[in-house]
A = this chain, B = another copy of it.
Amino acid sequence: MFYHVQNLINPIVADEPDPSAANALQEGLGGQFGEMRTMMQYLFQSFNFRGQAKPYLDLIQGIGIEEISHVELISKTISRLLDGAPEYKGKKFDVPGKDGDPVMDMAKEQMNPHHFIVGAQGSMPVDAAGNPWSGSYVHCNGNLVLDLLDNLVLESTGRLQKCRIYQMSENKTLRATVAFLIARDEAHEMAFAKALESLGVDWGKVLPIPKFDSSQYPEVKKLIDAGVNREQYHFRLDGSLMEKLYSGSAPANDGTELTTLKEPRESYEIPDAPERPEEFSPGLDPELQDLVDAFNELKEKNGKKAKGRNGR
């Protein structure tokens, strides 16, 4: 059974809108090796887990739970990168495009026009080429060694693609999220490699994949310095056996150590997304807005909610 806190696992950093950066990042969300796949693959593997090797179950499922928060983070990041592109000069309750004014003329030439036609400048469950996510991406073989190896390939491919995306834009909104995911994918590579190490494999020097010094990316360096690439969270309110596997020396064989925590040391406020009248989102006219306002008495309450908080 699942629970939620309306905070993010990493902060959204503000920068200009950049629709093609948003589109590249879709690969990390809805691509064949993106976060929707990791989330679904690990959840299906854990729901279908057979036998008594519970620490392996808790490891796979714990990472799966984290991936839901990654889907949340990357969705928010894409939305933020799209938000305000194209920029609409009209005000709330104005009719966008009235008198023939083409307020979204650039939108039809963006990488994925669905971001503006189908969604309201928001994320979608598709990849960077516009293909919808498919259930066929999920591998759940039921054989423990094979599932662990498949998961290692999945994390490695995800990390490779994110290292490529990192280089495609200096946009700070994109980079903050991508850097975090590079560090976390490395932590997850360690997890599945460590589980295989427990079954006798010695990885020598091939890890992480791709093999390079990601601390030369400034945004990644800060996270590595904080140990983010060598710790894993179980997000379990009722305890977890994850630590039996995720501890001791890292299978990268670089002298680092692995640490299991219940949850990340910090969480972060979710920025509000403004109304976009040109997208009719949320698209309430004054009559309907009055109903919402009266019903919810929201006017006086806005802005008070949703402080960053982690104590439970």
Contact = CB atoms under 8 A, between A and B. Distances in A.
A175 to B, nearest CB: 7
Contacts of A216: 95, 98-99
Q: Which 6 A-B pairs have the closest CB atoms?
A: A120-B142, A200-B204, A48-B122, A125-B135, A132-B135, A133-B135
Interface string A96-119: 111111111101110111101111
Interface string A270-285: 0011111011111111
A149 B92 CA distance: 23
Contacts of A145: 156, 206, 209-211, 283-284, 288
A22 to B, nearest CB: 9
A131 to B, nearest CB: 7
A124 B135 contact: yes
Contact of A143 (B72, B146, B283): B283
Interface in A119-141: 119-136, 138-141
Given A47-B76, A135-B126, A238 B312 contact: yes
A50 B157 CA distance: 17
A191 interface: no
A89 interface: no
Interface in A238-257: 238, 241, 244-245
Contact of A3 (B3, B71, B282, B295): B3
Given A156-B149, A217-B97, A105 B280 contact: no
Report copies per complex. 6
A84 B72 CA distance: 35
Contact of A134 (B43, B133, B175): B133
A103 to B, nearest CB: 5
A125 B137 CA distance: 9
Nearest to A303: B52
A30 B267 CA distance: 32
Given A209-B149, A312-B238, A24 B117 contact: yes
Nearest to A28: B117
